[in-house]
Amino acid sequence: MKETVVKRFVGYAKEYTTSDPKSKTFPSTERQLTFADKLVEELKQIGLAEVEKDKYGYVMATVPATTNEKTPVIGFVAHVDTSPDFSGENVNPIIRQYDGGSIQLNSKVVLAPEQFPDLLGYIGQEIITTDGNTLLGADDKAGVAEIVTAMEYLIQHPEIKHGKIRICFTPDEEIGKGADFFDVEKFGAEFAYTLDGGEIGELEYENFNAAMATVTIQGRSVHPGAAKNKMINAIHVGQKLNSMLPPEQRPEHTTNYEGFFHLIAFDGKVDKTVLTYIIRDHDRKLFNSRKEMLTQACVFLNDEYGDGTVQIEMEDQYYNMREKVEPVKYIVDLAEEAMREVGVEPLIRAIRGGTDGSRLSFMGLPCPNIFAGGHNFHGPYEYVPIQSMVKAVEVIVKIAEKVVGR
């Protein structure tokens, strides 16, 4: 199992599948479809049934039941794209035995326990790192590799009793569109798990409520020598807007269940400035209060500078899956029990982000999130311990076993 999941992940990691937030197509990049085609052929070769890729790039397949007992259909989901935040082209995964020291990834990039103390939990283990030039893609190709490996293991071991299992690999999760065209009815599972978490043991059924806001400020550009009482410098108005939001409620000052306002882009000129925010909170009431705070700040500035100076467009992106998962909490308990039975200590925590599962839960497919094993996603410091990947495969298999008769 170890050699299989490692070989599979290394091969997947080398596939260039970065999504593109500026694209107008779905999926956002042709390269994701290329990888999806390869997955289709692989799933057929290892014996899965009902293997298909639809026009949107979703790959679905089935492992038939090996028992006649009444058993719910369950699913496992992972995404094929990698983050556009850092290069995912020409990825060169490197397997290393970790000894507790710093790892010189290349001449400029060092993976050091002083900056990344979680490394010290893997002394004596093999880990897979980047070469310092790209991200690794454990988010979420580790999840893809683990699901495929677990399905192959179940096919090769028909003596393991399990119900019908459905799997799906989605595109464009990293740009928030992974569930846009997911066909829940066709998938046909009663519940599912995303394999898209971080360190070993993570089990999550809470995530942020999320919105994106774009604030456009229309300035008035006048020659600075004759600007008194005439110029409206949109850059300064933008700075004033940002200063009206509590600085302690920024991502770099928050943790656990604390929400935030995150200014992700500031395109400033005197005559026009555009600010882009993401707004996050686990609590729906606090989430709505945050959106209202930003809206009222814009109203205040319009009162000061003139109606229409500041315009805001805001769109909700996803909501806290807890609302949909809690009524069927036994599916979280099932995963927790499975982890303990394969020797993994569950780390039940809230996601400070979102997954396909958060949207799928609101589409009628309750979908908690399970660890895939990686650390430091979306950059050159990303790594994944091999033992964590093996344990993720074991957890998937154990869940499939335990659901029989439920």
CA distance 122 to 125: 5
Determine whether 114 is exposed, middle or buried from the number of CB atoms within 10 Å of its CB (0-12, 13-18, 19+): exposed
Determine whether 374 is exposed, middle or buried from the number of CB atoms within 10 Å of its CB (0-12, 13-18, 19+): buried
β partners of residue 261: 279
Catalytic residue chosen out of the listed positions 42, 81, 172, 204: 81
CA distance 388 to 202: 11
Residue with tokens 């299989």: 4
Determine whether 221 is exposed, middle or buried from the number of CB atoms within 10 Å of its CB (0-12, 13-18, 19+): middle
Maximum Cα interatomic distance, the chain, rounded to a whole number of Å: 85
Q: For residue 41, indicate whether it is catalytic.
A: no
Catalytic residue chosen out of the listed positions 15, 42, 140, 173: 173
Residue with tokens 């090996």: 66
Within 10 A of 2 (CB to CB), how many other CB atoms are there? 13
Q: For residue 173, indicate whether it is catalytic.
A: yes
CA distance 53 to 37: 7
Which residues are tagged catalytic? 81, 173
